[in-house]
Amino acid sequence: MVGVPTLILLLCAANGVLLSNSYWKPTWPAYKVPVVLPQSTLTLDKPHFDAKPKLEVLSSCGPACHKRSPLPTYEEVKDYLSYETLYANGSRTETEVGIYILSSGSGNGGGTQSRSRTKRQIYGYDSRFSIFGKDFLLNYPFSTSVKLSTGCTGTLVAEKHVLTAAHCIHDGKSYVKGAQKLRVGFLRPKLKDGSKGANITSSMMPEKMKFQWIRVKRTHVPKGWIKGNANDIGMDYDYALLELKKPHKRKFMKIGVSPPARQLPGGRIHFSGYDNDRPGNLVYRFCDVKDETYDLLYQQCDAQPGASGSGVYVRMWKRQQNKWERKIIGIFSGHQWVDLNGSPQDFNVAVRITPLKYAQICYWIKGNYLDCREG
């Protein structure tokens, strides 16, 4: 298979992972990531924006299915990491990329079942927490969660950038209605009317919040999502980056390469989103990772449509800065019914930020690969 030795290095590009049993703290591994750089850009016809927004993605290819999939070739990976850019004026481009390794070495790297959709993505007792009050909603890390005008959730990952799921703006064939005039909503407290003699008990009630919206300047979607949506690799690339027209002036959460599930604190992940069964509420949850593939995390965090695009994060010790730090290690994508030994089982799925995806997303944000060498 063409390019397999090189690809193995790419897929395992965790060169220089630093792990030590002498540290009791769960510590962020130090990854040396490959470089993903634009090679050529082609202007495409304007899209029609005729797809219906999808608030979740469904797939029957579970962990065993993904683990059986053949390793993609080097050329295939380059094709998957190429991307479309949609601009606010409706124009779009397609960019081909090159992949480079600047240092040597390597590191560690079903059937369908028809079911009712009413209770999907809730497992037993609903363990989600609605976050109330500006003292929580406007403070980190909850303040990094934003709402997309198409109905999904996103996470602030830089001064002007939001990470979300690709299916929130593109269904794999076309851009969704509203993608051309996409906006990002930030929860803020409603202004008080200033009236005197306010009821004292009103201060005991959750403060009402409203969304303040910022337009999106441009959007990047990997071709792995667009080309792979018709088969099982699509969900592996269900992520997109939005660039806002102006800075949001909030603290953001950095992205990081996803460690193996066994290295996560307690084997657990966290994310907050705007589940559509709790309108206007930011909903937080955490849960254990049940299984993983190179590109996906399988878990049973309670979630509903609308939470798609939420940044999945963990908090680990940053040895270089001698402090605890949260990082986004994945993007909540959707739901899967998986046939395990003839017994249907359901999972919620998050797309992992692999070394290659980190290199791509980081370059979209910073525009300089030298700023993206440490994952």
3-state helix/strand/coil string of 89-106: CCCEEEEEEEEECCCCCC
| Cβ count near 272 (within 10 Å) | 26
What stretches of 85-222 show up as alpha helix (H) in DSSP? 134-137
Crossing angle of the two packed helices 4-11 and 74-81, in degrees rounded to 10: 50
Q: Let me know the angle formed at the C-alpha of 372 by 313 and 223, rounded to the nearest 5 degrees.
A: 75
All residues at 6 or more sequence positions from 46 whose CB lies less than 8 Å from its CB, including other chains: 90, 91, 92
The kind and range of the H/E element at 243 are strand 240-244
Strand partners, 372: none
Strand partners, 240: 164
Residues annotated as catalytic (active site), given as ranges: 167, 232, 308
The one-letter amino acid at 288: D
Separation of alpha carbons 145 and 137, rounded Å: 9
CB burial string 190-212: b at 16+ within 10 A, e below:
eeeeeeeeeeeeeeeeeeebeee
HSE (side-chain half, CA atoms, 13 Å) at 55: 20
Do residues 356 and 34 make contact, with C-beta atoms less than 8 angstroms apart? yes
What stretches of 168-317 show up as alpha helix (H) in DSSP? 223-228
